[in-house]
Amino acid sequence: MRDHVLLYINGRPEEVRGERLFQSLTDFLRYDRQLVGTKVVCAEGDCGSCCVLIGKPAGDALEYRNVTACIQYVYQLDGCHVVTVEGLRQGGQLSCVQEAMISCQGSQCGFCTPGFVVSLHAMLETRMKLTDADLRLGLSGNLCRCTGYESIIKAGVESDITNLRRANELYPPTALLSQLRPAADESVRVEHAGRVFFKPTTVDEAVRFKSENPGCIIIAGGTDLGVVMNKGKLTPTIVMSLAGLASLKSVRVEGTTLSIGGLASLAEMDVACETHLPEMSKLLRRHGSPPIRNAGTLAGNIANGSPIGDTMPGLYVLNAQIELTGTPGVRRVNINEFYTGYRKTVIRPDELITAVHIPLPAAGDAYRLYKISKRYDLDISSFSAAFWMRTSGDTIESIRIAYGGVGANILRLRKTEALLAGRPFSDDLIDRAATSARGEITPISDVRGGKDYRLQLGENILRKFFADREDNEVLTPSPGTPGEGGGEGSVAIRSAPANLQNSHPALSRDTGRGFNANGQERA
Amino acid sequence: MNAVGQNIPHDSARGHVTGESVFIDDMPPLKNELLVDFLPAPVASGKLKSIDLSEAAKVPGVVLLLTDKDIPGHKQFGPVFQDEHLLVEEQIVYLGDPCVLIAAESRQAIAAAKKKVKLDIEPATPIFGIEEAIEAKNFIGPLRTIMRGEPERAMLEAEYTLSGEMRIGGQEHFYLESQAAIAVPGEHGHIAIYSSTQHPSEVQAMTAEILGVPFNHVIVHCKRMGGGFGGKETQAAQPAMMAALVASKTGRPARVVYNKDDDMRYTGKRHPFLNQYTVGFTRNGLITALRVDHFSNGGCTADLSLAVMERAMLHTDNAYYLPNVHITGQVCRTNLPSNTAFRGFGGPQGVAAMENIIESVALHLGLDAMDVRRRNLYGVEDRNITPYGQVFKNNVLPQLFDELSRASDYANRRRQINAINQTDRFRLRGLACTPVKFGISFTKQHLNQGNALVNVYTDGSVMVSHGGTEMGQGVNTRVRQLVADEFGIDWKNVYVTTTSTDKNHNTSPTAASTGTDLNGAAAVVACEKIRERLRAFASQHFSDSSAALAALPGNIVFQDGHVYDDRIAGKKITFKELVAQAYLNRINLGERGFYATPGVDYNRDTGKGTPFLYYTNGAAVSEVEIDRFTGELRVTRVDLIMDIGQPINPGIDRGQVVGGFIQGMGWCTTEELKYGPGGELLSHSPTTYKIPNISDVPAVFNVRMLDNPNSSMSLKRSKAVGEPPLLLGLSVWAAVKNALSYIAPGTIPDLQLPATGEQILMIMTKLQAAGKSNRAVLSPAAK
């Protein structure tokens, strides 16, 4: 059991103890280490000015991803290598990204620039070149108020990687791994001034700690908690980080079920969804931003219980099972029965979410997710919806509908489902269902939209689903999908770097993004 | 080779990309430094009866608590009217009005102290909206008028008339570096301030006044800002004053850095406007009479609201000749943070009013709005006098329209959209073109001045300082280019240093797009004076009595790092050698240049004058796509053309054009300020306030500059570029209005600004209901 946190910053080890442990990474970098290239604007992960690379051991090297440092806390980063903009110097030379940003006039005021430089480097960790489409997705977590982005896209496209030294070349992994690997297998406990930090390495340890400390705050990616803590709404006295629970990292398909480990990041989940649940993958690419998805977890979203969580409705209509591990053992709860009120769940004091099991739609099932937000990317839903439907000829055999942003929790539209089930399609039926959907929801007005707007969306989105269905755009394709390895054990999915996923053809922006009939895929 | 006209990198680019550029809060803490913050009033209106600081004072780490009573100098200040306070004396005028200054050793101590201060407040009923203020006759300043012709008679005689009103939302600057300042006390009551400000001289003046010391006791430094956009023209002064008060009271350095939430909640924004109009026009859409009444939400104090309104009125014509016109403007006082300068400075709101009128006229007549715009455009030889009497010279608008129509393939795309909007049940499309004619100069005459200091060192390197401030727009880079060319040296040998009030005094804010025009011109004046002395000296050097070559200063040429007499071939000395020799011969190698824009003036009482040196023009065609079910908006294609004369730095200027357009597009679409019932801003962080994201950049975005030799009386034939392109964002808004007009032909969509997805959906729903009653209209429900 270690009594401090060990992390590396720009290749140098830092043993962090006491008060300093409980700082945000940006405070630690800026005020403790005077590494002020990393800027803070919003302190809520929503602008990207604080992006750093976080490297974690993966095989015989480290895997580096960009993460918003403002909502990472130092204690979360035990066993990690943090590379800041200062650490991207290629010897005495500027990197190709930096050179291109200069020659393309990619900076104006310069405040967002270090964040963009880091995110561009993160993209080049796994790519040989950057395209316009890559950049529009890969940089969607970085806001710039001056340039209008054109020059930054140009800089990305024109970055010549001939002489680029990637993070594993700048920081030879052997030396780092010799320190970081043992650290990963070691639990950590730090007590300071009445505050406790604990990092277990086994689920048993974690469950025991949680049952002994029922008020403890559990942190995985911390993308929600970091915001709450930064805004002074929470100062936890006892924190347990799940970062050491390697067994919860896995993402697997077993039979017709996709299982997302409790510690798998949304980016890792996206890799699996791209093959096995493409509709969810499309949504995930609008969930937060790349740096948020690199840190945040699905289990964290579920535990957080926000009624506007982007992934939630899609899990409801598939009857996702939440795996809870506690002292007596493991149990599974259908997500539809998981919440008991606004941000209240059935999790017992000693339980952890260790996985989410998602039954995959069968070939021919319709599965469709919608997210409506004020801005297309890097925004929280004003309204969201999910549909799963099985038909038989012209008849709706079975349908499940869930809406988000219309009440204290995600809402299943049971009456509308009952109205539709067993009936043949007709314009009249859809009209009645749309009216029913509107009547079934009780949205409120808030900063993200008015009540009337959400009521109208509740009605229209149902119409849109059936219109999309007419264009045969909602069906789950049959070949080569789930179940292929079923029965014979499970297919483990390799977790490819998040950045690789960004060049998704479905999000090519030359055509009507998201607004065409096929939901983003019609050419 | 000349530096002017080259795309040389921004002078801070290297520091930006490496993270080495220093912003205020990047400066390492000085020994003994205190952190400072303020306690915001929890209500928007009321009487602060008493403050109990006893518990807060006991918080460990708290060093000083200050209230209004502790201010040694002026308690009232303001850029125009002295109607602002730094700390509440008695009247709370907005939610967040600072009541107590807290100086402490740590942020934690400040946070703890905030909870311990007890305020005894008698709340009053606040006013937040323009209509409420009009009702209560809560105004700031007089009603202003610009009038020409016989608008009333022309309206009566008009073939058609149309009336309406439009609400225009405010806009948060969202500069990434929040307001910040550090004050360092010096000897004998002097103080140095490091401020993220567009207006160091005002920070200096305000600080000196609040401390009760002469201006010469305060030096304000500004290396750079992490964005300004107008938000740091006047409102950078408050944090500087706070830091200065604490530094002066304690003798310790003091730092104020607003967090983003507080910055957004408690500082001013672009003014929301309400305009009411009646327009008279012919069957061809030619405007024969116009009446527009503007009301703006000034917030709690005057700040720059009157000047903003003035510019809104001066830009209500936008690009169109209005023979009979009556424009009024009234600023309303409300209990919001005082609204302030924002890129465009009222111009965007004035132009929004006009472009809405044009779209409405076109829809009313069933004409293409492009044709209506062409018909009303200012003439080149006639129909070229503005409502305030300035002659619009060098009008390139017709040329811009022609080139843009061609480049954007407007007519074909209009036909395609007409067809597809009849058949596509998923998507609705719209297309619009809006121009801009933006007046360059401060409308306050005295601000049209600049000064610059140029020092030539004996190694031939040159240091320049000027009154402009660098906020990313590239003023320092452009000045660097101008100065390099004056001496014929490599731009790398010119360094533009930190702006400070000891080197450059009585400066104007870096605003109104004039940063380079004023300060660059002043730097050129300084260079010319040094060059005159160097010419005289060099001419002696090159004179040769044996060859009967008399010393002729006029023949001395500075080029490519060398100096020579153009009568003598092959004989050159380097600039470095010349200045080294000049120094030894006691030639003055430094100079201060001063520039005042010639001939601009405006009489705001009569609404007449020639307020602008010239106009910067442009136009954009935008196409949008709307999801018929959800109202989601996407800008699919933009073609934009600007006339910026002969740019000093084409790369930097392009950045201004593109960045300005996208910022304007944000104002017109996703940027929505939402307030709670008590006046609390709900959209106070990027989570809830949505500026454009990289994925919002139109997939097709063609930006070009008109090749214009430019005969305007401007610096090196360049044109100011900072603000004008922002106004072209209105083409996106107009395209949304155009798209919505397809739902129920004959009904003018009542679109306000910004055109959020929510507003679009609600209007579509309403129009569909209206449209259904008289004709079969495509709607999500229809098959």
Higher-pLDDT residue of B570 and B354 is: B354
From A152-166, A461-475, B396-410, B682-696, the region with the lowest mean pLDDT: A461-475
User: Quick one: tokens of B583?
Assistant: 């120094």
**Which of B187, B226, B185, B180 has its CA nearest to residue B203?**
B180
Among A150, A154, A224, A454, the strongest candidate for a mutation testing the B interface, having the largest count of B CBs within 10 A, is A150
pLDDT of A518 over the 90 cut: no
Neighbours of B39 (CB within 10 A): 26
Q: What are phi and psi of B78, to 5 degrees?
A: 155, 150
Contact list in B for residue A464 (CB cut-off 8 A) is 627, 629-630, 780
Nearest beta carbon to residue B632 from set A31, A139, A514 = A514
pLDDT of A495 over the 50 cut: no
DSSP notation for B206-243: HHHHHHT--GGGEEEEES--S--TTTTTSTTHHHHHHH
Mean pLDDT calculated for residue range B32-44: 98
**Quick check: A39 and B655 CB within 8 A?**
no
Among B8, B17, B114, the strongest candidate for a mutation testing the A interface, having the largest count of A CBs within 10 A, is B17
Digit-coded pLDDT (tens) for B688-732: 999 999 999 999 999 999 988 877 778 999 999 999 999 999 999
| Res B234: pLDDT | 97
> What share of chain A in percent tops pLDDT 70?
90
Is any Cβ of chain B less than 8 angstroms from the Cβ of A44? yes
Contact list in B for residue A139 (CB cut-off 8 A) is 694
> Which residues in B153-181 are b (16+ Cβ under 10 Å) and which e?
ebbeebeeebeeebebbbbbbbbbbbbbb
User: Quick one: tokens of A95?
Assistant: 């990197």
| Res B240: pLDDT | 98
Confidence at A477, pLDDT banded by 50, 70, 90: low
Residues of B numbered 763-782 whose beta carbons fall under 8 angstroms of chain A's beta carbons: which are they?
Answer: 765, 780-781
Confidence at A279, pLDDT banded by 50, 70, 90: very high
* Kind of pairing between the strands at B562-565 and B449-456: unpaired
Digit-coded pLDDT (tens) for B124-172: 999 999 999 999 999 999 999 999 999 999 999 999 999 999 999 999 9
| Res B350: pLDDT | 98
Given a contact cutoff of 8 angstroms between Cβ atoms, the answer to whether B110 and B329 are in contact is: no
Digit-coded pLDDT (tens) for B318-328: 999 999 999 99
**Which of B174, B167, B131, B133 has its CA nearest to residue B267?**
B174
* B461: DSSP letter: -
Is any Cβ of chain B less than 8 angstroms from the Cβ of A489? no
pLDDT of B771 over the 90 cut: no
Active site residues of B: 723
DSSP notation for A387-449: EEEEEETTEEEEEEEEEESSSSS-EE-HHHHHHHTT-B--HHHHHHHHHHHHHH-----BTTB
Is any Cβ of chain B less than 8 angstroms from the Cβ of A442? no
Closest chain A residue to the Cα of B761, Cα to Cα: A453
Is any Cβ of chain B less than 8 angstroms from the Cβ of A84? yes
From A479-493, B185-199, B257-271, B291-305, the region with the lowest mean pLDDT: A479-493
Contact list in A for residue B20 (CB cut-off 8 A) is 37
User: Tokens 């058609």 belong to which residue?
Assistant: B160
CB pairs under 8 A between A and B: 268
pLDDT of A443 over the 70 cut: yes
Mean pLDDT calculated for residue range B283-290: 98
Mean pLDDT calculated for residue range A273-299: 96
Residues of A numbered 182-211 whose beta carbons fall under 8 angstroms of chain B's beta carbons: which are they?
Answer: none
Distance CA B339, CA B345 (A): 11
* B379: DSSP letter: P
Is any Cβ of chain A less than 8 angstroms from the Cβ of B702? no
Mean pLDDT calculated for residue range A244-271: 96
**Quick check: A105 and B652 CB within 8 A?**
yes
Distance CA A217, CA A223 (A): 13
Digit-coded pLDDT (tens) for B363-415: 999 999 999 999 999 999 999 999 999 999 999 999 999 999 999 999 999 99
Distance CA A355, CA A361 (A): 19
Please tell me the distance in Å from A349's CA to the nearest CA on chain B: 31
pLDDT of A522 over the 80 cut: no
**Quick check: A148 and B662 CB within 8 A?**
yes
User: Quick one: tokens of A243?
Assistant: 């970062």
| Res A501: pLDDT | 37
Q: Which residues contact B244 (CB under 8 A, 6 or more apart)?
A: B181, B183, B191, B193, B207, B210, B211, B218, B254
Q: Give how far Cα B763 sits from Cα of A513, B740, B751, B768, Å.
A: 22, 8, 7, 8
Confidence at B757, pLDDT banded by 50, 70, 90: very high
| Res B1: pLDDT | 83
| Res A90: pLDDT | 79
> For the whole model, what pTM was predicted?
0.95
Residues of B numbered 2-61 whose beta carbons fall under 8 angstroms of chain A's beta carbons: which are they?
Answer: 7, 9-10, 12-23, 25-26, 28-29
Mean predicted lDDT score pLDDT of chain A:
90
Peptide bond into B754 cis (omega under 30): yes
User: Tokens 């739609």 belong to which residue?
Assistant: A361
Can you give the length of chain B in residues?
783
Digit-coded pLDDT (tens) for B495-541: 999 999 999 999 999 999 999 999 999 999 999 999 999 999 999 99
Taking CA A270 as the corner, what is the angle to CA A264 and CA A271, rounded to the nearest 5 degrees? 90
From A127-131, A338-342, B713-717, the region with the lowest mean pLDDT: B713-717
Given a contact cutoff of 8 angstroms between Cβ atoms, the answer to whether B704 and B728 are in contact is: no
**Quick check: B761 and A370 CB within 8 A?**
no
**Quick check: B695 and A137 CB within 8 A?**
yes
Among A108, A306, A378, A516, the strongest candidate for a mutation testing the B interface, having the largest count of B CBs within 10 A, is A108
User: Quick one: tokens of B652?
Assistant: 């930097």
* Kind of pairing between the strands at B572-574 and B562-565: antiparallel
Distance CA B50, CA A442 (A): 44
Contact list in A for residue B12 (CB cut-off 8 A) is 107, 110
Distance CA A183, CA B731 (A): 57
* B544: DSSP letter: B
Given a contact cutoff of 8 angstroms between Cβ atoms, the answer to whether B242 and B38 are in contact is: yes
Is any Cβ of chain B less than 8 angstroms from the Cβ of A463? yes
| Res A309: pLDDT | 85
Contact list in B for residue A232 (CB cut-off 8 A) is 111
The gap between the terminal CA atoms of chain B, to the nearest Å, is 66
Distance CA B321, CA B397 (A): 12
pLDDT of A523 over the 80 cut: no
**Quick check: A514 and B627 CB within 8 A?**
yes
Mean pLDDT calculated for residue range B571-599: 97
**Which of B238, B199, B247 has its CA nearest to residue B220?**
B199
Mean pLDDT calculated for residue range A115-126: 97
| Res B314: pLDDT | 98
Q: Give how far Cα A321 sits from Cα of A258, B203, B342, B656, Å.
A: 10, 60, 51, 52
pLDDT of B227 over the 70 cut: yes
Q: Give how far Cα A348 sits from Cα of A210, A218, A325, B776, Å.
A: 10, 13, 10, 57
